[in-house]
Amino acid sequence: MKNQEVFFSLENAAATYNLGKSLGKFLPVGSVILLEGNLGSGKTTLVQGIGAGLGINETIDSPTFTLINEYFSGKIPLYHFDLYRLESSEIEALNLEIYWEGLEVPLGIVAIEWAEKLVDYPPNFLRVCLNFSNIENTVDKTLCGRHAKLISIGKFDFNLELI
């Protein structure tokens, strides 16, 4: 499958949440979502939306200090990671591949915040690049506001036009 790329301009945090909710409704089991973006760009908000789309009623918080939060109350499991505070060697020690291979845990949706810190990537994934800026740039107005770029990598089996 050819890699796809879709760009969204997001009006506010609610739009980021709703994008996540749409993803949660349509993502297939075994999907890996790699979230990248500056502080405050909406990574956790997007994962909260994914959880809502999966039917998870629990509060979804950033796992900055717990490293992983697992949710099993939705139609499929959601595994939410945050790599913000970790070094490469610490990330490798997490053995993240067990989550996207489904060998030791049930397959679900894997969402990884600060994924740009990964050393090894899964073979297939959806990269979500979030950006938030309140700096008005007179040359390029697209730099102001919230934006999301979704890029399917490898054989990620999902039609981005569904959302």
Residue with the larger pLDDT of the pair 134 and 110:
110
Q: Report the CATH number that the domain containing residue 131 is assigned in CATH.
A: 3.40.50
Domain carrying residue 56: 5-105+115-144+153-162
Q: Is residue 110 part of a domain?
A: no
Total domains, the chain: 1
1-15, 18-32, 115-129, 149-163: the lowest-pLDDT one: 149-163
pTM, 2 dp:
0.87
Locate 96 and state its tokens: 């993240």
Tell me the pLDDT tens digit for each residue of 37-57. Answer: 988 899 999 999 999 999 999
